A and B are shown apart, each in its own frame.
Chain A
Amino acid sequence: MSRPTLKLPGLLKGLGVTIRTLFRTITRGAHTVQYPRVKESPTPRARGVIALHEENCTSCMLCARECPDWCIYIEGHKYLAPPRRPGGKPRQKNALDRFDIDYALCMFCGICVEVCPFEALFWTPEFEYSEPRIADLLHDKSLLGKWMETVPEFEDYEPGAEVKKAKVPR
């Protein structure tokens, strides 16, 4: 078929590229990091794990309903809170018994965080929560509350944006 020509320049220039990369790695270091000795932190918006701010949750079940994988398990009960002023009606409130997210099923789409009307769910870039047993990947209410400590503040926007920066409740 086609005969290999002996025009050399292309071959030699290709050698130049590899030798240049070699020297660059020797002098300026590689582009990789030696995890777990060196850890790079992902961007603040990275979708690592979901944190729950329990005070805001009213167990409206919107997140459990919208989840494409049905990996959020919510149980709650209604109770009567004392009236706001004496002589009024007792208020009916929702109490959250169980709020579990199964990270073995979760596909990290973020729909639950987005549809929550009460700003109770937040993304955090924390990603080192792998477990030796799959059952331990079901994060319960207290663990989800602990992830709130890793939630970063929302970033400023580029100039020209009309969106207002939200605040993370602590």
Chain B
Amino acid sequence: MSQVTSPQQLAYIAGQAADARVNIELETEGMTLNIGPQHPATHGTLRVIVRLDGERVVAAEPVMGYMHRGYEKLAEVRTYPQVTTLVNRIDWLGSFANEVPFILAAERLMEVEAPPRAKWIRTALFELSRIANVVLFLGDMGVQLGAITPVFLAFRDREFVLNQIESVTGGRFHPNFDRIGGLKDDLPKGWIEETKGVLDRIRSFCDEMETLVAGNEIFQSRTRGIGVIPADIGLSYGLSGANIRASGVDWDLRRDSDVGLAHGELDWKVWTHPDGDSFSRYWVRLQEVREACRMVEQCLDGIPAGPIMAKVPRIIKVPAGEAYVETENPLGVMGYYVVSKGDLVPYRVKIRSASFNNVSITPWLLKGVYVPDVISILASLYFILGDIDR
């Protein structure tokens, strides 16, 4: 497949890059360039070492770990509500979605099921966090490619979604709202009507993005045919989410697995695209935002009346056992493997984060592309550093 990853070659690259201060090396065979860790293009502190020949990439290697915060170790000494708070901060753009698989895993161990009202509101908030996350991507891919206006429009319209999340949970970015057995509190009066108004704004934002970015010929000539990921290669690297659906693989955990959210009772469709290039990844995510708006609307219309929390003891001690739950988060498939020994704190929490696998394809993908295309490809893969490094 690729002869990039021979240890000697990597050692050479690493040696060159480790010394990447300001020095001018006009080697005619290749120049080693360090993209990051401080760089406007990488979403955070990702370092990509590329070896260039003129403007073509010969070899590339991502170096992760600049933002490692030790979540899995911290989780060993935190009670379940405290871990819920911590876990918000993994994928900080769509943060409610991080809590959901963890809470579902703990509920599976406790053999507690959340009441239907909690299930539906959980799904609505889950899809709202997907909207908040992917709306930023739609604007951000523009700015990676040079169009500075879409990202401001994205932030503007994302504010409305965050305000809605704040009205319910109290926090815009870190809701900390999911509890074992249900949700912390119920919806305030008027929230459903307001949220429907916000969804209209998001729909008009999607139309704007389609005109301003996706329909732009310059954008299309920068992204069509760039960074093509064949379906089998993508699956073998463990890509998930919109990245793999843009290569034609019809796989979505919301439809294909039943974890305890209300997706099975909603009417929605999974979007795929046959090419596997950067443009199709953008397009699939654009359609997913529109689909998420439809889903939230159906959720809001169908919330059943009832309690918001099942009967759980005040001090939660999860019985011994292990459970693995994965859900279709905005970035991809996120899973929590919770091992409990019957304590107040989990014994071990293993977090399967989507972006870690999404970034692992970069050595294969970046071979032979131009430097500007490196940025376009990294932008289209859409990773969040908190998700990669945890």
Contacts and interface: CB of A to CB of B under 8 A. Distances in A.
* A and B, direct touch (CB closer than 8 Å): yes
Interface string A103-134: 00001111100100000000100000000000
Nearest to A160: B305
Interface residues of A, number: 41
A156 B188 contact: yes
Nearest to A3: B221
Given A157-B188, A160-B303, A45 B82 contact: no
A14 interface: yes
A2 interface: yes
Given A5-B217, A7-B217, A17-B208, A109 B85 contact: yes
B192 interface: yes
Given A157-B187, A158-B191, A162-B305, A68 B215 contact: no
Interface string B283-307: 0000000000000000000011111
Contact of B82 (A47, A68, A157): A68
A149 interface: no
A110 B304 CA distance: 27
B256 interface: no
Counting chain B CB atoms within 10 Å of each CB, the highest count among A159, A161, A163 belongs to: A161
A81 to B, nearest CB: 27
Contact of B170 (A7, A18, A45, A157): A45
A29 interface: no
A111 B82 contact: yes
A47 B171 contact: yes
B174 interface: yes
A42 B166 CA distance: 8
Interface string A146-160: 000000000111111
Contacts, number: 117
A37 interface: no
B28 interface: no
Interface in B132-189: 149, 153, 156, 159, 163, 166-171, 174, 176, 184-189
B341 interface: no
Interface string B214-258: 011110110011000000000000000000000000000000000
Contacts of A28: none
A107 B170 CA distance: 13
A80 interface: no
B221 A45 contact: no
A46 B174 CA distance: 11
B117 interface: yes
B198 interface: no
Contacts of A26: none
B180 to A, nearest CB: 13
A38 interface: no
Contacts of B325: none
Given A66-B81, A160-B306, A45 B212 contact: no
Contacts of A44: 188
B77 to A, nearest CB: 10
Nearest to A2: B221
Contact of B189 (A2, A42, A158): A158
A167 interface: no
Contacts of B163: 43
Contact of B85 (A18, A43, A107, A158): A107
A43 B211 contact: no
B170 A1 contact: no
Given A14-B212, A45-B188, A162 B85 contact: no
B203 interface: no
Contacts of B306: 160, 162
A17 B82 contact: no
Given A4-B217, A14-B216, A109-B176, 7 more contacts: A2-B224, A66-B79, A111-B82, A157-B188, A157-B189, A158-B188, A160-B306
Enumerate the 9 nearest inter-chain pairs by beta-carbon distance, A residue then B residue, closest first.
A160-B305, A109-B85, A161-B186, A10-B215, A155-B188, A68-B82, A156-B189, A158-B187, A47-B170
